[in-house]
Amino acid sequence: MTRPPPSDPAGARLATRLAFLVAGFVMACWAPLVPFAKARAGIDDATLGLLLLSLGIGSVVAMPVTGALAARRGSRPMILGGGTLLALLLPALAVADGTATLAIALLGFGAALGTIDVAMNVHAVEVERRAGRPLMSGFHALFSIGGFAGAGGMTALLAAGLSPLAGTIVATGVALTALAVAAPRLLAARGDPTPLAWPRGVVLLLALLAATTFLVEGAILDWGALLVTGMGLVGLAQGGLGYMIFSVAMTVGRLAGDRAVRRLGTACILFGGGIVTAAGFALLLAGPSTIAMAGFALVGLGASNIVPVLFSAAGRQRTMPPPIAIAAVTTLGYAGILAGPAGIGLAAQRIGLPGAFWTLAGLMILVSLAARRVARA
């Protein structure tokens, strides 16, 4: 395939940032809605966990299909199609009042999220290549900023007295406006099809660590509001505050991440990140009630640079070809954030939601213990 000459189009960078922003924004708008959806459907934690699996199934099915279509037709139509569907399905999550309808809405929501996620990363790779300088961390920081805006904005709307449906209609309008601004600036970026393979050797370790870290993000998104409202730390309408704090901390950590990795090294980032994340869970679950919510900040800071370091390591290892390794780590990693929360629901049914979150703290300690192995690879 003939490659265009290197360039650095400001419009394409803006469009890519908006795509990441929209994906993070709409996804995070779901976090404050979880307690309302659970109450409206009249289901327990285990049933909600199984329903959340629909979101993961939709994304996992859509991701490889999107990759193939983006390779043939470009990422632009996939970004716009996936982003538009994602925004339009958000109000459906605010009104679904039965198990079946909520499952269908989550399945479509997950498929749309998987579509825009793959397509915007294909687009980001092309924009970064044309620019001839690193841009990926900044793009992913916009996803975190979108998460903060989505959780914070939806929480504010609900606290102001708007119904979940009215709040999601406002959020949908914001997302569609951003996509309209991005549309004429998107490149017709095409990616080369990369075959997926089951990870082996150190790549399997990287994939498992990525899945663990993504699982933490998914747990905060889907279960954080239920945890803090169930513990009595905040009221129902303020349930999204925890994810908002988490998103701010993760954004700050990512914006400073490249400099931190250069100064401290891979092993230190992974070891310290796992310890800080586990400490954040401990503060949230066992700390004084006046500062327990600060645990979300520690979790966000600790986890912020773990995944970027793991992806970088996947590109440098020699066990598997780097493109195949990165694809494998991405697939298994996203299985953590999308399918993992369903496991949290099943665990919560047996040991309680706080017990499930203590399990996450233990898993993050394992990330720290694997730091030297990753650095040697």
Please determine, for residue 205, whether its predicted confidence score (pLDDT) is greater than 50.
yes
Ranking 180-194, 262-276, 319-333, 350-364 by mean pLDDT, the lowest is 319-333
Do 329 and 199 contact (CB within 8 A), yes or no? Answer: yes
Quote the CA–CA distance of 248 and 254 in Å, as a whole number: 10
State the sign of the Cα–Cα–Cα–Cα dihedral 149, 281, 357, 117. positive
Q: Who wins on pLDDT, 222 or 377?
A: 222
221 — pLDDT class (breaks 50, 70, 90): confident
Do 226 and 38 contact (CB within 8 A), yes or no? Answer: yes
Angle made by CA atoms 297, 303, 309, in degrees to the nearest 5: 150
Predicted pLDDT of residue 323: 56
Report the predicted TM-score, pTM, of the whole model to 2 decimal places.
0.71
Q: Which of 308, 314, 306 is nearest to 377 (CA)?
A: 314
Q: Which of 151, 167, 149 is nearest to 32 (CA)?
A: 151
Q: Who wins on pLDDT, 365 or 47?
A: 365
Predicted pLDDT of residue 197: 61
Average confidence (pLDDT) over 71-77: 81
Angle made by CA atoms 259, 270, 323, in degrees to the nearest 5: 80
Reported as a single tens digit per residue, the pLDDT across 327-354 is 677 777 877 776 677 788 888 888 988 9
Q: Who wins on pLDDT, 243 or 132?
A: 243
Quote the CA–CA distance of 207 and 52 in Å, as a whole number: 22
Predicted pLDDT of residue 112: 95
Do 10 and 130 contact (CB within 8 A), yes or no? Answer: no
Residues contacting residue 231 through CB under 8 Å, at least 6 positions apart: 292, 354
Ranking 76-85, 120-129, 188-197, 306-315 by mean pLDDT, the lowest is 188-197
Q: What percent of the chain has pLDDT over 90?
A: 38
Average confidence (pLDDT) over 272-291: 92
Q: Which of 11-15, 82-86, 215-219, 248-252 has the highest mean pLDDT?
A: 82-86
Average confidence (pLDDT) over 177-191: 85
Reported as a single tens digit per residue, the pLDDT across 1-40 is 444 444 448 899 999 999 999 999 999 899 889 889 888 8
| DSSP states along 219-245 | HHHHHHHHHHHHTTSS-GGGTTHHHHH
Please determine, for residue 321, whether its predicted confidence score (pLDDT) is greater than 60.
yes
Average confidence (pLDDT) over 202-231: 88
Predicted pLDDT of residue 365: 95
Average confidence (pLDDT) over 270-290: 92
Average confidence (pLDDT) over 50-61: 83
The separation between the first and the last C-alpha atoms of the chain, rounded to the nearest angstrom, is 32
Do 130 and 72 contact (CB within 8 A), yes or no? Answer: no
Residues contacting residue 11 through CB under 8 Å, at least 6 positions apart: 184, 185
Q: What is the mean pLDDT of the chain?
A: 85
Please determine, for residue 133, whether its predicted confidence score (pLDDT) is greater than 70.
no
Two tokens, residue 267: 């092993």
DSSP 304: T
Two tokens, residue 132: 């001839």
Predicted pLDDT of residue 1: 40
Q: Which of 155-159, 216-220, 326-330 has the highest mean pLDDT?
A: 155-159
Predicted pLDDT of residue 154: 94
Q: Who wins on pLDDT, 203 or 104?
A: 104
Q: How many CB atoms lie within 10 A of CB 256?
A: 15
Predicted pLDDT of residue 217: 85
Predicted pLDDT of residue 5: 41
Find where tokens 């708008």 sit: 29
Do 220 and 198 contact (CB within 8 A), yes or no? Answer: no
